[in-house]
A and B are shown apart, each in its own frame.
Chain A
Amino acid sequence: MREAIEARREFLKKLGIVGAGVVVCGSLGLPKAQASSRKRLKDKIKIGHIAIFSGPFGTYGELQKRGSMLAAEEINKVGGIQGSKVEIIYKDSRAKPAEAVKQVRRLVESEGADFIIGIDSSGVVLGVAQVMPELKKLLIVTHAATHKLTEELVYKKGNKYAFRLSVPTYQDGTMAAITAAQLPAKRWACVHPDYEYGYASWELFKATLKKLRPDVQFVGESWAKIGTTDFKPFISSILDKKPDGIHTVEWGVDLFTFVRQAKEMGLFDAVRYKDGYAWINPMGYSIDAMEALKKEYPEGCWVSGRYLWQYPPTELNEKFVKAHYRRWGHLPAYSGATSYTAVYLIKHLIELTQTLDVETHIKTLENLAIYSPIGEMLIRKEDHQAIYDVPFGQIKHDPKFPIPVLKNFLGMPAYMYFRRPPFTETPPYTGYPPFMSL
């Protein structure tokens, strides 16, 4: 416990160091910005928002759009950014790197976008980030999780133009393993989507779990391509390895299919323990999955997201969740929350620096502390990754809510489980801190 508190103190100390650099991203009903006295920088501040708006994962663009559009509406209602209206231009990446790069170029070169936000998939983000230095605009990533973006492109190769407000695969691999270590399961297997994100998550998961629990074994792996309609071959080959714990980062429409078929074929029953299921799904608490599966998602599975609407229990978060529900009739998804924060971050960035100069923006963002609906975040200077923690919780069906909720939150400070530059050591750091019960 002491170490955990230390870590938090460390984080708050960092907040102190940056001093003026603490910004509040979200609507707290503050008086109209003092901005009115300041000069307008531009007629319109244009933000290009790139996400997947078509195909099997088209929902993900919608989920993001709800967040960024809500933020823009709120900001414009109270006078915009120093009198400039915020305009968000949405573009479809179609989950293809080449298409997204084309859209980014078009946004910046012919539509006059000042900032780029969004991006849903790991493959796409690596492509887009590489053209940002040439276009000289900021990219604020709100969903894609590959740690290669921040560890390799930003930290090792010095690409200064990309920042990420969403948690990276540390949540999917490292924090997932920390949660797994608390469970009795000893024979872990995985069913993952067959691309960068799946492999990265599984590698981190194995490394951390092995460190925490030398007694566990990794007995099987399954790699299903994106858009698999029949998971039976994968489920039955995993069942044959007799696992008692499952790690899966399936998401979106594949997750619905997988959960349904896994239930039918008895994969959940295979990983049952007395307090639930040794079923770790870091992307499991995605709003679309909860809305589609509802009661079909078995109670007692351990899931998380890049943000959970139930956490943190702050006024700022409560206001955001309510505003989002009023506006859209849905609870916010994690990518919605990060997109919302990104738009507010851009507002504060401009107000803080009084310029649209990208170099100044980069310097300001580095080591900036943010207070947002998602919680306290620190944008780390070395790798441009926003550091904040998201707990895991167990699925519970509660008739009071339209979708399943989470109980038994289990978390630790992000500071302890986000990999630190130079990214060689396996987290968690400084031994093994006890868990904070949330």
Chain B
Amino acid sequence: MEAIFFQILVGLSTAMLYWVVSVGLTFIFGVTRVLNFAHGSFYMLGAFFALALFKWTNSFVLSIALGSLAVGVVGLLCERGVIRFTYSLPVAFQLVLTFGLVLIFEDLVRFIWGSVPQMIRPLGLGVVTIAGRRFPIYSFVIMGTGLFLWIILYFLLLETKLGLMIRATISDIELAMANGINPHLLYAFSFFFGSFLAGLGGALTLPMCSASLGMGERIIIYSFIITVMGGLGNIKGAFMSSLIIGISESLCAFFMPSLTIAISYVILALVLVVKPEGIYGEA
């Protein structure tokens, strides 16, 4: 019983990381209707930016904050620079364009940091003993960040004027424009914020693993699974499906180790069969 509890706890920390990254993708899609393939690249950039900043400042908190903000700016520049020209074009153009960005960022990172994965020293936050097992304290930091983000998003969307404008744009863009909302401002903001979250996710993984080329490829698959499963553009859906994927993977590693690789696809397929629009439906 204790072992199962521990698996769930471990899965929860994985889930929160998925959530931080995939809500960024969901947010961008919700507002702009662009499926941003380059989201994974922003995740990778977050890790590399934080790595560089950490070597410079030696402060982890500062490097995470500045690193993810910098990724937000990169996302904003991509939106203003190229992506905005594809809003009125068929979706295939957006896919090709954002995929092109993936290739560009991959080569840029290789050019600047080389192809050898890089690590920073562990933070040395230590472990706590839960249910007779060691659990890294850093995982609580990730969980805390995820929950904090959940609260912030709720507040932003439900309590602020910006949130009202965002919700208005998501539900009916033409009506929103007729009421004087400038969608381009919102599009730019959503790319900034979404990319910031991807960068934050990437930077947060740094003490656990390494900054490496192609790390974005792996997370983008999860982000798409979670986004589609929760309902495209639906933030509540992204939260729920992050939890489902993270925890079920962890339990699967315990009960059916050789199926772990497939479990997230199986769950996605099941959800789509029962509810093709996703758990909470498209926003």
Residues of chain A contacted by B249 (CB below 8 angstroms):
233
**Any chain A CB within 8 A of the CB of B3?**
yes
Could you give 23 example pairs across A and B, Cβ below 8 Å? A54-B106, A54-B213, A54-B214, A55-B217, A58-B213, A59-B115, A223-B261, A224-B253, A227-B218, A230-B13, A230-B208, A232-B13, A232-B14, A232-B136, A233-B260, A252-B117, A256-B119, A256-B210, A260-B122, A261-B136, A288-B116, A292-B116, A292-B117
Shortest Cβ gap from B240 to chain A (Å)? 19
A382–chain B nearest beta-carbon distance, Å: 32
A 273-314 binary contact with B (CB < 8 Å = 1; else 0): 000000000000000100111001000000000000000000
Tell me if A236 counts as interface (CB < 8 A to partner B): yes
Please tell me which one of the listed residues B6, B134, B215, B258 contacts residue A223 in the complex, with CB atoms under 8 A apart.
B258
Given contacts A236-B10, A261-B208, A265-B136, contact A227 B116 (CB under 8 A): no
Contact flags B206-225 to A (C-beta < 8 A → 1, else 0): 00111011110111000000
Within 8 A of A (CB), among B243-266: 249-250, 253-254, 257-258, 260-261
Binding site for A on B (CB under 8 A): 3, 6-7, 10-11, 13-14, 17, 106, 110, 115-119, 122, 127, 133-136, 139, 205, 208-210, 212-215, 217-219, 249-250, 253-254, 257-258, 260-261
Question: Contact mask A46-59 → B, CB, 8 Å, 1/0?
Answer: 00000001111111
For B135, B136, B217, B254, the residue with the greatest tally of chain A CB atoms inside 10 Å of its CB is: B254
Return chain A residues, CB-CB under 8 Å to B218: 56, 227, 229
Query: How would residues 217 to 229 of chain A score, 1 for a CB under 8 Å from any chain B CB and 0 otherwise?
Result: 0001111110101
Type the 1/0 row for A245-274, where 1 means its CB is closer than 8 Å to any CB of B.
Answer: 000000011001100110011100000000
Check: A234 CB closer than 8 A to any chain B CB: yes
Let me know if A229 and B205 touch, CB within 8 A: yes
Instruction: Give every chain A residue within 8 A of B219 (Cβ-Cβ).
Output: 229
Task: Count chain B CB atoms within 10 A of each CB in A224, A232, A265 and give the residue with the most.
Answer: A232
List A contacts of B254 (CB < 8 A).
233, 236-237, 240
The residue in chain A whose Cβ has the minimal distance to the Cβ of B137 is A264
Q: Is A41 an interface residue (CB 8 A)?
A: no
Q: Give how many A residues have a beta carbon under 8 Å from the other chain's beta carbons.
A: 40
A351 within 8 A of B: no
Question: Nearest residue in A to B218 (C-beta to C-beta)?
Answer: A227
Q: Does A22 contact B (CB under 8 A)?
A: no
Contact yes or no, A56 B212, CB < 8 A? yes
Within 8 A of B (CB), among A2-59: 53-59
Any B CB within 8 A of the CB of A87? no
| Chain A: minimal CB distance from B278 (Å) | 24
- Judged by DSSP, the binding face of A is helix
Would you call A425 an interface residue if the criterion is a C-beta within 8 Å of the partner chain's C-beta atoms? no
A222 to B253 alpha-carbon distance, docked (Å): 7
Q: Contacts A234-B260, A239-B133 given; 16 further ones with Cβ under 8 A?
A: A56-B214, A56-B217, A59-B115, A59-B116, A229-B209, A230-B14, A233-B10, A233-B11, A233-B14, A233-B260, A234-B257, A237-B7, A237-B257, A240-B254, A252-B117, A253-B212
If A232-B139, A291-B116, A292-B119 touch, whether A223 touches B212 (CB-CB below 8 Å) is: no
With A256-B119, A292-B117 in contact, is A223–B213 under 8 Å at CB?
no
